[in-house]
Structure 1
C-alpha cells in the first residue's frame, strides 16, 4: 500500500524557489485563512485581557490561557509555511499534526467561548471576546474540513489479489 502526502501549500502560487520566504502563501486562500485565525484569536485574547476591572474568575483565565496557547501554535504553523520549514522537516506528517492540533484547538476554544459568554456579567468586552472565540472556532472548523479533504483524498489504496 503506497501513501502519497499532499502538502496544504501545494495549491499555492509559485514564488521564487530559491528564496527563504514564501510570500505567495500569504496571498493564497489557505494563507489568508491562517492569518485571519491568528488575528481573530489575538483580538479575542485582547478583548478579555483588556476588560475593565479584569475579572479573575476561572472561566476568563481558562479562556485567556486556551486562546493564547492556540494563538502561538497557529502563529508557529503560519511562520513555518511562510519560511518553508515544513519542507525541511520531512519526518513529520504535517497534515496529520495540523489536523489533530486544529481539532483539539477548535473544541477547547469552543468550550472556552461558551464559558466566557455564560459568565460575561454584561461586560461588553467579555462578550466581544467570546464572539471572536466563536469566530475563531468557525475558522478552525473550515481548516479542519480542508485538512480532512487533503488527508483523505491523498491516500491511494490498492487491492492486492
Structure 2
C-alpha cells in the first residue's frame, strides 16, 4: 500500500507533464488499486467475510490482485516510457514497478496460504 501511495504522489506532484493521458491513467490505476487493497483489508479486519457468505472472498481477492497487478504493470511501463528523464515521473514508475512486484508476491502468498494449506490439511489418513 505504501509503495502505491508513494508512486501516486510522485506522479501527482511532478511539475512538467509531457503526456497527460499516460500519467492520468497511472494515477487512476494506482489510486483504484490502493482503494481496493484498503477495502479488502477492512473486510478482513472487521471480519465482514463471515457476514457476507454469498461472496467467495478468496476468489474475489485473487481476481482483484490479478487484474490490479496487470493494470499496474501496464501503467508502470507506460509511465516509464513517457518519463523522459523527469525525476518525479521516473520515481513514480520505479515505485509502480515495486508495487507490481509486491502485488505478485501477495498473489503467491494468498494462493499458498489458502489453497496449499487447505489441500495438505485435508489429507489426514
Check whether TM > 0.5.
yes
TM-score when scaled to structure 1? 0.69
Length, aligned pairs only: 120
Separation of aligned partners in 1, 2:78 and 2:97:
11
TM-score when scaled to structure 2? 0.87
**Which structure is larger by alpha-carbon Rg, 1 or 2?**
1
2:78 to 101, 111, 115: 115
Query: Which shows bigger deviation, 137-146 or 49-58?
Result: 49-58
Separation of aligned partners in 2, 1:89 and 1:66:
27
Deviations 1:103-131 (A, max 9, x none): 11111101100110110011111011111
Q: Mark the runs of 5 or more structure 1 residues left unpaired by the alignment.
A: 1-37
Q: 1:46 maps to what in 2?
A: 9
Query: Which shows bigger deviation, 79-88 or 119-128?
Result: 79-88
Q: 1:10 maps to what in 2?
A: none
**Larger fraction in helix:** 2
Separation of aligned partners in 1, 2:49 and 2:14:
38
Q: Mark the runs of 5 or more structure 2 residues left unpaired by the alignment.
A: none
Q: What's the CA shift for 1:74?
A: 0.6
